[in-house]
Amino acid sequence: MRFSENFIQEVVDRTDIEELIGRYVELKRSGANLVGRCPFHSEKTPSFSVSPTKKMFFCFGCHAGGTVITFVQKAENLDFPDAVEYLANRAGLPLPKESEQNYGNTGVSRKRVLEMNLEAAKFFRACLFDSQLGAEGMKYFHEDRGLSVATVKHFGLGFAPNSFNLLTDHMHRLGYTDEELIAACLCGKSQKTGRAYDYFRNRVMFPIIDPSGNVVAFGGRVMDDSKPKYLNSADTPAFKKSKQLFALNFAKNCCAEKMILCEGYMDVIALHAAGFEYAVATLGTAITPEHARIFSKYTQKVIISYDSDDAGQNAANKAMKILGEVGMDVRVLKLSGAKDPDEYIKQFGAEKFRQVLEQSKTGFDHKSERILSKYDLSVGSDKIKASGEICALIAEYWSAVEREVYLSQASTLLGLPVEVLKNSVEQIRRKQARAYEAKQSREAQASVKNFGDRINPDAAKDPRAASAEETVLGLLLIFEEYRNSVDSGETELTEVDFVTDFHRRVFAAIMRMHRSEGGLRHELFGMEFSPDEMGRIEKTEVARQQLSKNGPEVFRSAVRVLKDARKQESVKSGSLDERIAYLREKQAKLHKGKADQK
């Protein structure tokens, strides 16, 4: 059962949008609004705007937008009811009983998944400390990896026995169904027998805990040679791997100066045990822009400590680029004599690791060293290749100051004049700019025709009608008089006049709210529209507000376009006589228009 409209409105009214979003974004006053860098895409120039009076936000770069509820949905990876509950708890509002019913695509709430995960974590931990069931897991943690019992308990580590039904049976006894366990990614369903089975088997278990202390997912390392070596929870109503970092629940308390980004669970645990409690790792996936924006919330400096093999170094290069795009100070740790932090600390100790940490290199130093290691600069052809790669590297930096600094360093490394290298860098940047402009042009042309529109795919069928629909909706969202005109029948406009399904749904929602006692409330759109759709609705309103001509004739003209589009569609499926009559009517209107112009 969904929350009542009155409760949703009270949650929004009790939420200070400036204070809420200010926890994620550094906002600065700009007239009546606040601006900052968008938390939902990487940008250097602020394009994210917050309106405290309207309690709305909108990004002019990625077009994310909506209410405080929409913001929490996107920032915390929650669906609408969970976001309402999050804000209600934050505002100290007691939840109505009906809010505890199941909902969502899976029919299982985030709250229910979190309850199951907590019980599963307790089960895995009990198995690990069982002398018979968990002997192999305890041997791995204690003897093979050198973890103390205190560290094992600190991270809530556990063990999933090599059984198809131990966890499933345990969860059944607690009242959870197969459908709920599948939704939480705790069990699977056999295609042959249709029976549920434990998803994690014969694995040491690593609970994934979010910054609020909730167990949101699990990672498991297998005890034999089975594949995959590491198995992670799939996305659930409580978890999205691209928005979580392992051990962030601990690291967030001591990472203001810097954070260490590792590849795996054990590297992080080893670092924490050695006193480096600001280490985290991604969850079995490459770093994403979402991860980068999480880092930017907690610190300004990230030291990448990936494996020293080629795969690890290639991953480090990608991470440097993504973290750099959100303005992070990115450094790279080079470990000699060990492949990863866990192994290095075991061999050389924590103090030696601390010294190496202080000597971490900038992204440019790390990459340029790798480039130069491939070539013999005493050979002309090698020197040319090395110069080309380093110039291409420098060209990637957005800041002119950074480019000047690195050009000076490159000149010393390569023994070439700065101006020669600078000319090569600028030539590369001009070529990149031309390629970017060509790409933007292609995307703009496709956008005009509405190709690739995921939110409103029907728009490509009739771009003119879709544009008219946007005009109508923008005016309806802003001006009550147009809503009154439609409601009274003065303007004949109904859902069937809309060509696209998305705009038809928005129109129906606008008019339904207009006729209700509470009137048009943007937060209520979230009950039936996704966060991306909310962004499109907000974009439609913002785009309309920026236009000077919003008078009745603009509204009537757009409505006429919709009526004509509907009539054309009707004529296409009609008889020959109907098509001929329609063409004659069009010709008559055309001749009349020309006559009026004379």
Q: Is the pLDDT of residue 552 over 80?
A: yes
One domain, residues 55 and 90: yes
DSSP 246: B
Q: Where does a domain end: 331, 357, 383?
A: 357
State the Cα–Cα distance between residues 320 and 316, nearest whole angstrom.
6
One domain, residues 302 and 188: no
Please state the domain count of the chain: 5
Q: Where are the beta strands (DSSP E) in 275-368?
A: 279-281, 301-305, 329-332, 361-362
User: What string of H, E and C letters represents the secondary structure of 236-284?
Assistant: ECCECHHHCCECHHHHCCCCCCCEEEECCHHHHHHHHHCCCCCEEECCC
Q: Is the pLDDT of residue 280 over 80?
A: yes
Digit-coded pLDDT (tens) for 533-549: 999 999 999 999 888 78
One domain, residues 485 and 427: no
State the Cα–Cα distance between residues 116 and 176, nearest whole angstrom.
8
One domain, residues 299 and 341: yes
In angstroms, how far is the first alpha carbon of the chain from the final one? 63
One domain, residues 485 and 586: yes
Q: What CATH number did the domain enclosing 32 receive?
A: 3.90.580.10
Residue 53 lies in a domain: yes
One domain, residues 588 and 461: yes
One domain, residues 232 and 148: yes
Residue 350 lies in a domain: yes
State the Cα–Cα distance between residues 119 and 142, nearest whole angstrom.
24
pTM here?
A: 0.64
Buried/exposed code over 430-446 (b: 16+ C-beta within 10 A; e: otherwise) = eeeeeeeeeeeeeeeee
pLDDT at 99: 43
One domain, residues 132 and 220: yes
Q: Which amino acid, 522?
A: H
Residue 363 lies in a domain: no
State the Cα–Cα distance between residues 486 and 493, nearest whole angstrom.
6
State the Cα–Cα distance between residues 456 and 507, nearest whole angstrom.
14
Residue 364 lies in a domain: no
**Opening angle at CA 243, ends 241 and 247, nearest 5:** 80
Mean pLDDT confidence for 404-424: 93
pLDDT at 367: 86
Q: What CATH number did the domain enclosing 297 receive?
A: 3.40.1360.10
Q: What CATH number did the domain enclosing 489 receive?
A: 1.10.860
One domain, residues 475 and 592: yes
- For 31, the domain range is 5-100
C-alpha radius of gyration, the chain, whole number: 29
Digit-coded pLDDT (tens) for 241-277: 888 999 999 999 888 889 999 988 999 999 999 999 9
Residues 6+ apart with CB under 8 A from 137: 127, 128, 158, 159, 204, 223
Residue 476 lies in a domain: yes
pLDDT at 589: 53
Residues 6+ apart with CB under 8 A from 114: 214, 215, 216, 238
One domain, residues 591 and 464: yes
Pairing relation of β-strands 187-189 and 196-198?
antiparallel
Q: Is the pLDDT of residue 278 over 90?
A: yes
**Secondary structure (DSSP) of 300-339:** SEEEEE--SSHHHHHHHHHHHHHHHTTT-EEEE---SS-S
DSSP 142: I
Other CB atoms within 10 Å distance of the CB of residue 409: 16
Candidates 537, 546, 541; CA nearest to 455 is 537
Pairing relation of β-strands 215-222 and 230-232?
antiparallel
Q: Which amino acid, 383?
A: K
Helix axis angle for 531-545 and 463-478, nearest 10°, is: 80
Other CB atoms within 10 Å distance of the CB of residue 325: 16
Q: Where does a domain end: 239, 269, 294?
A: 239
Residue 315 lies in a domain: yes
Q: Which of 370-379, 545-554, 571-580 has the highest mean pLDDT?
A: 370-379
One domain, residues 80 and 18: yes
Q: Which amino acid, 3?
A: F
Digit-coded pLDDT (tens) for 373-406: 899 999 999 999 999 999 999 998 877 888 999 9
Other CB atoms within 10 Å distance of the CB of residue 588: 10
Where is pLDDT greater, at 396 or 164?
164
Residue 362 lies in a domain: no
Looking at the DSSP assignment, which residues form a beta bridge with residue 206? 219
One domain, residues 379 and 483: no
Q: What CATH number did the domain enclosing 161 receive?
A: 3.90.980.10
Q: What does each C-alpha distance from 576 to 548, 563, 565, 582, 590 come to in angstroms?
A: 43, 20, 18, 10, 21
For a pLDDT cut of 70, what percent of the chain falls above it?
90
Q: Where does a domain end: 100, 125, 145?
A: 100
Residue 485 lies in a domain: yes
Q: Is the pLDDT of residue 224 over 60?
A: yes
State the Cα–Cα distance between residues 295 and 318, nearest whole angstrom.
15
State the Cα–Cα distance between residues 277 and 281, nearest whole angstrom.
12
Is 219:178 a contact under the CB 8 Å cutoff? no
Across the chain, mean pLDDT equals 87
Tokens 């291409």 found at: 392
Is 135:161 a contact under the CB 8 Å cutoff? no
For a pLDDT cut of 90, what percent of the chain falls above it?
53
State the Cα–Cα distance between residues 559 and 224, nearest whole angstrom.
67
| Cα dihedral value 91, 94, 100, 104, nearest 10 | -20
State the Cα–Cα distance between residues 29 and 33, nearest whole angstrom.
6
